[in-house]
Amino acid sequence: MVKRYLTSNQGTPVGDDQHSLTVGERGPILLTDTVYLEKIAQFDRERIPERAFHAKGAGAYGYFVPYRSFASLTKAGFLQDPEKATPVFTRFSLAGGSSGGADTVRDVRGFAVKFYTEEGNYDLICNHIPVFPLRDPLQFPDFVHAVKPDPIANIRGGPIAASRFWDFVSLRPESMNFLIYLFSDLGTVRSYRTIPGFGINTYKWVNLRGEETYIRYYWEPCAGVEYIDSKTAAHLAGTDPDVASRDLFDTLAAGNSVEFEMRVQTIKPELECEQPFDILDPTLIWPEHMYPLIPVGRMVLNKNPENFFAEVEQSAFSPAAIVPGIGFSNDRILQGRIFPYGDTQRYRIGPNYLELPVNMPRHPVDNKMQDGPMRSGYSTDIANYLPNTLSGGMPAEAPEKGNPPQEYISGCVGRQEIAGDDYYQPGCTYRNMSGPEKNRLVSNIMESLSQAYEPIQRRMIDHFMRTDQEFGCRIAQKLSLIP
What are the pLDDT digits (tens) for 101-137? 899 999 999 999 999 999 889 999 999 999 999 999 9
Distance CA 342, CA 346 (A): 6
Cα separation, 156 vs 148, whole angstroms: 7
For the chain, the residue count is 483
In this structure, what DSSP letter does residue 277 have? S
Q: 390 has which bridge partners?
A: none
Stretch 179-186: mean pLDDT: 95
Q: Name which residue leads in pLDDT, 175 or 421.
A: 175
Res. 315 pLDDT band, cuts 50 70 90: very high
pLDDT at 402: 58
Contact (CB, 8 A) for 440 and 229:
yes
430 annotated as a binding-site residue: no
DSSP 309: I
Mean pLDDT of 25-37: 84
Q: Is pLDDT of 403 > 70?
A: no
pLDDT at 371 over 60: yes
Residue 483 has pLDDT above 60, yes or no: no
* Out of 172-181, 288-297, 373-382, least confident range: 373-382
Q: Could you tell me the CATH superfamily of domain 21-169+177-362?
A: Catalase core domain (2.40.180.10)
pLDDT exceeds 70 at position 400: no
Q: Contact, 282 vs 201, CB < 8 A?
A: yes
H/E/C letters for each residue in 247-289?
HHHHHHHCCCCEEEEEEEEEECHHHHHHCCCCCCCCCCCCCCC
The pLDDT tens digits of the residues spanning 57-96 come to 999 999 999 999 999 999 999 999 999 999 999 999 998 8
Four-point Cα dihedral 404, 406, 411, 415, nearest 10? 0
pTM over 0.85: yes
Q: Count the alpha carbons within 13 Å of 377 in the hemisphere toward its beta carbon.
A: 16
- What gap in Å lies between CA 14 and CA 35, rounded to an integer? 8
| Percent of the chain whose pLDDT exceeds 70 | 94
Which residues are 335's β-sheet partners? none
User: Which pLDDT band, with edges at 50, 70 and 90, does 259 fall under?
Assistant: very high
**323 exposure class (CB count in 10 Å sphere: 0-12, 13-18, 19+):** buried
> Is the predicted pLDDT of residue 48 greater than 60, yes or no?
no
Residue 307 confidence (pLDDT): 93
| DSSP three-state, residue 453 | coil
Q: What is the mean pLDDT of residues 401-412?
A: 74
Average pLDDT of the chain is: 90
Using the 8-state DSSP alphabet, how is residue 118 labeled? B
pLDDT of residue 12: 67
Q: Any idea which residues carry the catalytic annotation?
A: 54, 127
314 has pLDDT over 80: yes
Average pLDDT, integer, range 213-229 = 96
Please report, for the chain, the start and end positions of each structural domain, with discontinuous segments joined by +.
21-169+177-362, 422-483
